[in-house]
Structure 1
């Protein structure tokens, strides 16, 4: 099985991104694709365009609490759907079941890390009773303790927005991701080489700060299938969003 997770930046709605994004997606061959930031998409549009790309089954979570919609598209039927947008979830949580695998797509708070701690706790509590394979994927807006050697405190403090997002009590706050890892989830993209997910080339930054905040996490039952994930950094996707997509593959 081969899956993709993609934050497409404000719905990818600009003229120079919308059709190139759909063209790129239509050329790929994934079984399941999860999305963040489906801003201004409608259910009918999502269904129509995903069908053109080869994904006849899909679910768009049009939240009332956030314009940053989340969604999932699949080649196989979706048999279970649960949507949560109540607190503490900042951009909601979407749970579907495809081919006996539970897929949870979410987009954690981009602001204070303390808010992400609460979201992570809610996620950990939610997945606890699921005795089936689980995938949690999305823009989690948090640094991982597995990347501790990459991040430098002073480097983050030099960037006001990053400091607001990731510094708590005078140190880098890895707790949101630690909560998820301690809950039995495993980072499918953890490796010795730092595989950053942003920034891309879209904003042409003079002093880019490379971070990994997009993840595919799996529980023990799915870990047995030896999933392997990596960021896709091609010249095409570098101009579609400020995030690179992440793909994950495992054998059934």
Structure 2
């Protein structure tokens, strides 16, 4: 199974054609999308149809919708709209539960609470679960001092603890619950070349957090950086493959 997660920046706008070209090129079996501003269930259904997929959209009360798309039928779908700043779209694809989500971009403490709640709600020791999306959190295994130092102070606050250190508590909450960060070491997912003057340092904000039964099947995880993804969003897409048999990375 090939999985892709991507924050496409305020609904894709005039970049949507390039975004869909990347998705067609990567051919994910499961696609988690975030920042679907202005998208309705009808709209995501139309886009899914163009891609040969089915979709479940979770609307957002305060932020932007998120979605799960898949090449096979989605079952037991669920939308979480009130516990999160943005939302979470939950769907079962075969024996896999996929949670596409986008955590609070502004408040480290609220982001920690969101991650803690998601971990308690969805972690399973014997089932395949994947939390995929823009978690807006720094990871606890990286030195973030240099990346934080280059951005404006007002944006630094989004990623600092009250003590002034890099805030990694959201990812730590998921790890402490038992999820595995299968993309550890893949490098930064923001900013892309087109958006380097925005609020990001060289951060990894997009994650694939897998339950142990799924994590054991990980074959590769990579960030897709090229001329198209450089301009398609302010985030790069993350692609992973999960398989019972050895598989070589594609590209």
8 Å Cα contact 1:82/1:95 also seen in 2: yes
Match in the other structure for 1:8: 8
Query: RMSD of the TM alignment (CA)?
Result: 2.1
List runs of 5+ in structure 1 lacking aligned partners: none
Match in the other structure for 1:75: 71
**Structure 2 CA distance for partners of 1:136 and 1:101, relative to 1, 3 Å:** same
8 Å Cα contact 1:40/1:67 also seen in 2: no
**Structure 2 CA distance for partners of 1:205 and 1:31, relative to 1, 3 Å:** same
1:28, CA displacement in angstroms?
2.9
Which moves more between the two structures, 138-147 or 42-51? 42-51
SS at match of 1:48: helix
Match in the other structure for 1:137: 132
How do 1:79-94 and structure 2 match up within 5 A?
79-87=75-83, 89-94=84-89
Q: Which of these residues, 49, 52, 55, is aligned with residue 51 of structure 1?
A: 49
After the TM superposition, list the runs of 4 or more consecutive aligned residues in structure 1 that deviate by more than 3 angstroms: 128-131, 153-158
1:221, CA displacement in angstroms?
1.0
List runs of 5+ in structure 2 lacking aligned partners: 245-251
How do 1:241-252 and structure 2 match up within 5 A?
241-252=233-244
Match in the other structure for 2:249: none
1:136, CA displacement in angstroms?
0.5
| Residues matched between the structures, number | 243
1:145, CA displacement in angstroms?
0.4
8 Å Cα contact 2:217/2:243 also seen in 1: yes
SS at match of 1:33: strand
SS at match of 2:117: helix
CA distance in 2, matches of 1:97, 1:208: 33
CA distance in 1, matches of 2:32, 2:151: 33
CA distance in 2, matches of 1:171, 1:115: 17
1:131, CA displacement in angstroms?
3.9
In the alignment, structure 1 residue 98 sits paired with structure 2 residue 90: no
1:20, CA displacement in angstroms?
2.3
CA distance in 2, matches of 1:112, 1:22: 31
TM-score, L = length of structure 2: 0.90
Match in the other structure for 2:226: 234
TM-score, L = length of structure 1: 0.89
**Structure 2 CA distance for partners of 1:157 and 1:235, relative to 1, 3 Å:** closer
Match in the other structure for 1:219: 211
Deviations 1:144-168 (A, max 9, x none): 0022x3x117943852133211112
Match in the other structure for 1:186: 180
CA distance in 1, matches of 2:39, 2:18: 16
In the alignment, structure 1 residue 177 sits paired with structure 2 residue 147: no
8 Å Cα contact 2:115/2:174 also seen in 1: yes
